[in-house]
Chain A
């Protein structure tokens, strides 16, 4: 029995304005999805299991880190993709990608070690845990890790730490239909399929991009 579609409409995740595809809701198509797919996707809109993997300190640090990486930093009432819960569930079930770098621990241990390291950096520089810092200080600490590239960070190559964080964060966030609404992705299409192929072609139910300017060019103009 596929899960029921929750009542929220046209939701996009917290942090961005969702101005590219206003009015588009991929969930409007859920009736056209096969039951197995609908169950898998709609489950992401249900209440997520309680945290089992992260300790309280890790929960605080990971929550702040993930909000930053994915910019889910809107006002508290805005809907958030429950990325922390989704990653916690994966780690609790050791649902890894089936590999680890030789110079990194297993994914679960690697998450714990990197969160601890982030808290240590926060304590060293600002005398408080990472989660307690103002956003700007958090951002600078995270940027430091990214800027180290292949160099060592607390005994791990920073690039491999960065890959771990962004892989788990992006997989959770962009598996969520709210994120699909934000980017205009048409989503699952079985059994119906897609009928209108080609540059500039749209299914009747797909929405045009309301602002097709290149955001890269855009931000250069703006800043």
Chain B
């Protein structure tokens, strides 16, 4: 009872709080148009434009979760910022569609090779391109990590300890949650906390999860999702159209395109699109970064900068560092200790679907609806360490067909199963798979259109990984059966990529420190998901953005790192 009262009190305090402080910190939601169109194109047309030879305070590679957050924070603090983004500056009105196959252009589809004992398919399921990065088509679940995630090596003997604690990140979590903004029920797991916006109503899939969890005695909650409930600035309410993974045409789901980019532009940042970074440049001795080499319109450029931040996601960031080898760093930039590209992680994401006589029609309402973290922590009665979370996922027809085909169905069998689509409710787990040195990005011999060696991502599971995935599957099947499913099927999948440039206490154990500054090159930062030393069983975007919020505050407070180069670009 006391717990419930406390939850009600914190929720009330948050939901009635003023939005003024949020708007002062980041006015993005108020800079969007309120005339029914989704992005103010004059912001793009009037964007400040720097010259390659302007030695800007900061150049960022990649405009996704991490890159856009950093651009906004630093531009807001008065730094001159150029963000190089390989993809386009999206116009949601004309370039995004409510259609699965028609959303192919949102994904990073440059060639990549996958290998190892348990290779991880990429494409739609893993990474995006263009302004907003993968947050354009991410589902929008935004849970925090648990305090235990920061010391799994000490407490559980697996994974790695972070160089920072949960408490270091809490204020950043709160700030980003306000800016996305997050809607959801009071959250009882990890560090219990409330959300500012009320939970969304649930569709058939969420209803089944809640019903099954209640019957099985498992605690479940609605949210947390980065989807506006009610108006937020000029962002309207969700229309429950269910195409969150194809980009939200409504502006209800937060992507950094609408949560951070408008304010970055308003503060003079330049987001230079269709600009593919090919190498990070340093001075001749390799002491500090001097800028970023990139290809645009088929021509090579070099943007000079005093500080460089890389935010290309867990595959592209290590690849760019490896492709930036020079005399001082023959094995790749910042790779003195053979750590760049290692400890890349994916979450085991088995999906279990249950068949119900009633119509579920899981395609309505956002795929992210209901979640449970009741199995997140290490349970001493189990044979494995760490755990998993369970969430609703609502596959649209093509994804569902892959699910059915993965069961071995084809021909008439496949067609008949598929005609049963609206009767299925689907849950997905996020299993904490452990970081392993052998799970890594290396350069393949094959080259892409830019002439750069493509990434080879090798992935293999360990015994603990397999045990967690099996346990998650059992729980999901139990929930669906408890809800009345007459048949359940499970497929093995992966979700989310993190790691590859992990943060650590010192250079022998990681590529960057807790402030995301690389150990080897002091004015080079890595500000994306690749810095995570462990991944927990939570979706990563909120944590990535919170880490960047914290690093940005450190950067603003400290002295600007890089040295000014003499006129004429003598740094080379």
Contacts and interface: CB of A to CB of B under 8 A. Distances in A.
Contacts of B408: 146
Contacts of A206: 361
A110 interface: no
B443 to A, nearest CB: 13
A200 interface: yes
B355 interface: yes
A212 B357 contact: yes
Interface in B283-342: none
B519 interface: no
A213 B98 CA distance: 30
A102 B115 contact: yes
A214 interface: yes
B114 A194 contact: no
A190 B358 contact: no
A170 B363 CA distance: 18
A166 B405 contact: yes
Interface stretch (A49-57, A114-122, A124-132, A175-183): A175-183
B207 interface: yes
Nearest to B123: A97
A166 B242 CA distance: 25
A183 B109 contact: no
A44 B95 CA distance: 17
Contact of A40 (B97, B110, B249, B402): B97
Contacts of B99: 37, 40-41, 175, 188
B456 A102 contact: yes
B96 interface: yes
Interface in A18-66: 20, 33-34, 36-37, 40-41
A198 interface: yes
Nearest to A165: B410
Interface in A157-172: 166-167, 170-172
A103 B397 CA distance: 29
Contacts of B242: 189, 194
Contacts of A34: 93, 97-98, 249
Nearest to B211: A199
A71 B416 CA distance: 10
Interface centre among B121, B207, B239, B411 (most CB of A within 10 A): B411
B422 A201 contact: no
A190 B486 contact: no
A194 B113 contact: no
A185 to B, nearest CB: 5
Given A70-B414, A199-B360, A174 B401 contact: yes
Contact of A200 (B250, B358, B405, B412): B358
Contacts of B360: 199
A171 B208 CA distance: 27
B359 A175 contact: no
Interface string B436-454: 0000000000000000000
Contacts of A188: 97-99, 241, 243
B356 A209 contact: no
A4 interface: no
Contact of B421 (A41, A95, A184, A190): A184
Interface residues of B, number: 73
B97 A98 contact: no
B119 interface: yes
Given A99-B111, A100-B114, A173 B401 contact: yes
Contacts of A192: 239, 241
A185 B421 contact: yes
B422 A98 contact: no
B420 A215 contact: yes
Contacts of B355: 214, 216
Interface string B5-26: 0000000000000000000000
Contact of B122 (A70, A97, A189): A97
B54 interface: no
A208 B208 CA distance: 19
A33 B201 CA distance: 24
B412 A71 contact: yes
Nearest to A149: B408
Given A146-B408, A171-B398, A99 B114 contact: yes
A208 B423 CA distance: 11
B364 interface: yes
A200 B205 CA distance: 11
Nearest to A188: B98
B350 to A, nearest CB: 17
A78 interface: no
A117 B247 CA distance: 39
B41 interface: no
B487 interface: yes
Contacts of B115: 101-103
A106 B93 CA distance: 34
A96 B122 CA distance: 11
A62 to B, nearest CB: 15
Interface centre among A174, A188, A213 (most CB of B within 10 A): A174
B402 A197 contact: no
A176 to B, nearest CB: 9
Contacts of B398: 170-171, 174-175
A123 interface: no
A69 interface: yes
B29 interface: no
Nearest to A200: B358
B97 A208 contact: no
B107 interface: yes
B135 to A, nearest CB: 18
Contacts of B202: 197-198
Contacts of A182: 415, 418-419
Contacts of A174: 100, 397-398, 400-401, 418
A175 B101 contact: yes
B489 to A, nearest CB: 9
Contacts of A213: 357
A16 B113 CA distance: 38
Given A37-B99, A166-B402, A171-B101, A197 B415 contact: no
Given A71-B415, A197-B365, A209-B422, A190 B98 contact: yes
Interface in B67-126: 93-102, 104, 107-115, 119, 121-124
18 contacts: A16-B412, A20-B419, A33-B98, A69-B410, A69-B414, A102-B119, A103-B115, A142-B410, A170-B405, A170-B414, A171-B398, A174-B100, A185-B422, A187-B98, A188-B99, A193-B240, A194-B203, A197-B365
Given A70-B411, A97-B107, 14 more contacts: A16-B416, A20-B420, A95-B109, A102-B119, A180-B397, A184-B419, A193-B250, A196-B364, A197-B364, A209-B422, A214-B420, A215-B416, A215-B420, A217-B487
